[in-house]
Amino acid sequence: MKSFPLNEDRRWMEQHVIKQGDMLLYGNLSDEMEDIPPDILWKEFRRIAEKFLGDGKDRIRILHEMVEHTIATLIERDKRFGYPPPYCHKGCCNCCHELVYCTSEEAAGIHDYCLQNRIGIDYEKLARQLDYIEFNDTGDHTGRTTWNDQSQEDQSCVFLDRVDKCCTIWPVRPLVCRVHLAEATDQYCAPHNGVENPNALGINYIELSYILSVVFTIHRDSVKKTMGRLLLDSKPPDQ
């Protein structure tokens, strides 16, 4: 991460969020930081972190609602300037055929939601998928994957309904699923073995990158484990 002069907001972030690590910058934020004044950058990081850390036991639900509200606001703003809304709609599911990251809190929320709504989790499929993901000695995904070398059926998310091609855990889906916004078409959404399709047209809102960078940094110990591993690690003993 680029070195910036210390200010009060950065000091707060280093004490309460970054600690002994680094900021896990999401999306194109690392490329855009050259053009962002440091005082604005760290003030926004701190604003998001203070809210998230202070929202108590419902903070993931509140965070998801904040992200949805932010996206809706940004889409309305773009419409006023003549930009089309994201292509994403019910049944377009190309992005549901790739590796998914989530936080430990999100994984716990998914487990609870599935239990309450009697939604089965295909743990055997999750375990098979892990065979195509490379992890280091601490259990973090290294970034290397052979995801597309597995069977076509196993490449899809365990929560993708095979009939209507919709998400069965939509209300509690992870952050990365919420902010994956396609422009014009979903044809190129899915990467191949972790490499983004050069024809992919994504909508990258810096406001969302701020949010995910802060939350992923707070959850640095879990977010790189992948959703599959987190769900398997917390699988009830009788399943």
Domains in the chain, number: 1
Instruction: Give the residue numbers spanning the domain of 100.
Output: 8-233
In a domain? residue 101: yes
Residues of the chain with pLDDT under 50: 1-2
In a domain? residue 1: no
∠ Cα 79 81 87 (to 5°): 40
Identify the three-state secondary structure at position 149: helix
Give residue 238's pLDDT: 73
In a domain? residue 3: no
- Each residue of 195-210: pLDDT tens digit? 999 999 999 999 999 9
- Each residue of 76-96: pLDDT tens digit? 999 999 999 999 998 999 999
In a domain? residue 159: yes
59-80 and 38-54 helices cross at what angle (nearest 10)? Answer: 140
In a domain? residue 238: no
- Residue 147 near residue 133, CB atoms below 8 Å: yes
In a domain? residue 239: no
Identify the three-state secondary structure at position 144: strand
pTM higher than 0.75 for the full model?
yes
Give residue 237's pLDDT: 77
In a domain? residue 70: yes
Helices (H) and strands (E) in the chain, counts: 10, 2
- Each residue of 180-190: pLDDT tens digit? 999 999 999 98
Give residue 5's pLDDT: 57
Rounded CA gap, 162 and 195, in Å? 25
